[in-house]
Amino acid sequence: MQSQSFAARAGRWSAQHRKKAILGWFAFVIIATVLGGMVGTKTLADEDTGNGESKRADQIVEAANFPEQTGENILVQGRDGVRIGDPKFTAAVNDVVAKLESTKGVSKVESPLEPENEGNLSKDGRSALVTFELPGDEDKAADAVEAPLAAVDQLQKQHPEVLLGEFGDASAEKEIGEAFSEDFQKAEFLSLPITLIIL
């Protein structure tokens, strides 16, 4: 008679010692989670994820150590008939520009009301874009974006006649990161009860 495989023997033992098997698996999962957390993860840099000549080019650019900047935008859109040229609209844009210029980490703030930036005014006369930059790539700028986001929230309360909204690589990275973190916490919270129900 052919000897049973390890999997078959383990399956039979687990069936005969159900409580020990379940507790053993829980212990294994907890130990693996703790050890994994202690070891941590290593993430490849963006310039190391490509291949061939494009990877080499990315590594050369990274080695040159150019200062990295991440672009962000504030949409200013009139409500209830408020349009570009209206004193309320102008006041809102000027306050946004002034607030951003005094916010730590923010640079290169461009007002859409300046003649050289008129391309940032919508043709329908309702919307304008205030543009600015944050230091670092989108990963690093995701931390620096907190201050301008808070400034926009504050200005929205002061200017209800317009809609203010910030968007860009840094704010998107922050929102996506927070969503992933929240989903992961929910998954961790639900996985144990679901496992117990299945067993």
74-118 confidence digits (pLDDT tens):
999 999 888 999 999 999 999 999 999 998 888 899 999 999 998
Is residue 84 within 8 A of residue 73, CB to CB? The reply is no
Rg of the chain's alpha carbons, rounded to an integer?
A: 27
Q: Which pLDDT score is estimated for 1?
A: 43
pLDDT score, position 139: 65
109: which 2 tokens?
A: 């703030």
d(CA 5, CA 12): 11
Q: Give the pLDDT confidence score for residue 50 in this predicted structure.
A: 76
> What would the pLDDT profile of 109-160 be if each residue is shown by its tens digit?
999 999 999 899 999 999 999 999 888 766 666 677 888 889 999 999 999 9
Q: Is the pLDDT of residue 18 over 80?
A: yes
How would residue 192 be classed by pLDDT, with cut points 50, 70 and 90? low
Spatial separation of the C-alpha atoms in residues 128 and 119, rounded to whole Å: 9
Q: What is the pLDDT of residue 122?
A: 92
Average pLDDT taken over every residue of the chain: 83
Q: Give 152: exposed, middle or buried? Use CB within 10 Å, 0-12, 13-18, 19+.
A: buried
Prediction pTM value? 0.58
Strand arrangement, sheet containing 127-135: 107-110, 127-135, 69-78, 162-168
